[in-house]
Chains A and B, each alone.
Chain A
Amino acid sequence: MSSSIKKMAEKVTLLSFWPSMFCVFALEEKGLSYEYREDLPNKTPLLTEMNSIHKKIPILIHNGKPICESLIIVEYIDDVWSDRAQLLPSDPYEKAQARFWADFVDKKVYGAGGKITWHRYKHEAAEGKKELIENLKVLEGVLGDKSYFGGETFGYLDIALLGFYMWFPAYETFGSFSIEAECPKLIAWGRRCSQRESVSKCLAEPNKMVDVVVRFRRMFGLK
């Protein structure tokens, strides 16, 4: 008991940029109080800069110690505040599956989505769209008929994909397609997650994501 009170008194700061929501979902699920600080990209916007920003933020600062990389932060939060809202499964095999698929999301959804939003040439967007649909369909298969990727409980893998779910309106706009038409179960899952209190308070309006992409594309000199 005393150790959890001690943890609550400890300072938790999240340095992030609002389109990157992974860590916020985890902190909210755990019901933690934390300071949120926006770290907006104020450097000269080159495409590589945007990528380096994705690498550098978010940063969680807990008792003065920094932790980087969204999924590593989420696991850290789960490790430290292990007394509530468990995010990773306890079973080693299920845990390995969650980590494997979260890594797949990171590798395959992030990359494909990026091709769509940051394309210079139309064919890049088309490539990205094809890859994205393929990969989302695989994830739909993983979800199956479960309510969440974690089964009956919302967890790590849900968070890993939810961060990208927010970008779906942007992918759809710049890829000219409907994700719901291709992956209805996934959209249903997204809507189900959006109803969670921890998620609904953070989820941006769909247009906001599109606006962000429009703004950045202009900055990068992309039409």
Chain B
Amino acid sequence: MAKSASVQLLGSWASPFSNRVQLALKLKSVEYELVEEAFYVSKSDRLVKANPVYQKIPVLIHDEKPVCESLVIVEYIDEAWTGKGPSILPSDPYERAIARFWAGYIDEKLETASGDEEKFAVVGKVLEGFALLEEAFAKCSKGKAFFGGDEVGYLDIALGCFLGWVKVAEIIGGGKLLDESKFPGLAGWAERFLSHDVAKDILPDALKILEFFGKVQAARAAATTAAE
């Protein structure tokens, strides 16, 4: 009955991948219902049914049809609501390919970095990534404010969702990662993105993430103790 129920997002305010989808929906001014999944505790039946292959958030359910994988969802949103609001992907095929390449790179880098136990190795990978992305920013933005140019786009969303987490890593690790002296382009972009209307109400700040992180650790410890 309610129009907003035709678009549901199984996700969480605390998940950067979920945030990607929220950012895209906001850009397109699509009304939706956010169904908070306590993904760090257990997988709900609802989630397993919607995403049997990976059983992960985010999952966008549009008119009862599920779409999984954050970047696939963002492209879907751009295509399903063409003409509503700004385009998320660039219109030029070459620029689209470049945006997709870097978004894929970000996810791949994250995957390899999260596999590392050693903090030193993780930091190394993050800095390596930033160095390449600094170059990518110069090429994609062409002197404008965002990867997408004058407006926020696909690559801004793909990378921007992690900015709060970068700050958390800096707080925990005690070192500056997104150093404006090393990565001036990226650092400037980060400030602009975080204060953009689209991101302001969606991306959680570092302290909120830290609090959440503590909660997850506690919940996991409790689950382990209960299992023993």
Instruction: Please report A residues at the B interface, Cβ cutoff 8 Å.
Output: 62, 65, 67-69, 72-73, 75-76, 79-80, 92-93, 95-97, 99-100, 103-104, 138
| B76 lies within 8 A of A92 (CB) | yes
Minimum C-beta distance from A171 to chain B (A): 21
Contact of B72 among A65, A69, A103 (CB under 8 A): A103
| A100 lies within 8 A of B72 (CB) | yes
| B104 lies within 8 A of A99 (CB) | no
Assess A100 versus B69: contact at CB under 8 Å? Given A79-B93, A80-B93, A92-B76. yes
| A104 lies within 8 A of B53 (CB) | yes
Give chain A residues whose Cβ lies under 8 Å from the Cβ of B100: 69, 72, 75
Determine the distance from Cα of A3 to Cα of B96 in the docked complex, in whole angstroms: 20
Q: Does B65 contact A (CB under 8 A)?
A: yes
Assess A92 versus B69: contact at CB under 8 Å? Given A67-B94, A72-B97, A72-B100. no
How many chain B residues touch A (Cβ–Cβ < 8 Å)?
20
Give chain B residues whose Cβ lies under 8 Å from the Cβ of A92: 76, 79-80
Minimum C-beta distance from A111 to chain B (A): 11
Minimum C-beta distance from B72 to chain A (A): 5
B residues 77-105 in Cβ contact with A at 8 Å: 79-80, 93-94, 96-98, 100-101, 104
Determine the distance from Cα of A99 to Cα of B96 in the docked complex, in whole angstroms: 15
| B67 lies within 8 A of A138 (CB) | no
Number of A-B pairs, beta carbon distance below 8 Å: 55
Assess A76 versus B96: contact at CB under 8 Å? Given A93-B67, A100-B67. yes
| B80 lies within 8 A of A93 (CB) | yes
Give chain B residues whose Cβ lies under 8 Å from the Cβ of A76: 93-94, 96-97
Assess A138 versus B53: contact at CB under 8 Å? Given A65-B94, A100-B69. yes
B residues 35-55 in Cβ contact with A at 8 Å: 53
Q: Does B205 contact A (CB under 8 A)?
A: no
Determine the distance from Cα of A62 to Cα of B93 in the docked complex, in whole angstroms: 11
Determine the distance from Cα of A99 to Cα of B103 in the docked complex, in whole angstroms: 14
B residues 49-63 in Cβ contact with A at 8 Å: 53, 62
Give chain A residues whose Cβ lies under 8 Å from the Cβ of B53: 104, 138
Determine the distance from Cα of A95 to Cα of B101 in the docked complex, in whole angstroms: 18
| A96 lies within 8 A of B101 (CB) | no
| A75 lies within 8 A of B97 (CB) | yes
Determine the distance from Cα of A72 to Cα of B107 in the docked complex, in whole angstroms: 15
Determine the distance from Cα of A118 to Cα of B80 in the docked complex, in whole angstroms: 42
Give chain B residues whose Cβ lies under 8 Å from the Cβ of A138: 53
What would 6 more interface pairs be, CB under 8 Å, given A67-B101, A69-B100, A93-B67?
A: A67-B94, A69-B101, A76-B97, A79-B97, A93-B65, A138-B53
Give chain A residues whose Cβ lies under 8 Å from the Cβ of B67: 93, 96-97, 100
Give chain A residues whose Cβ lies under 8 Å from the Cβ of B73: 96
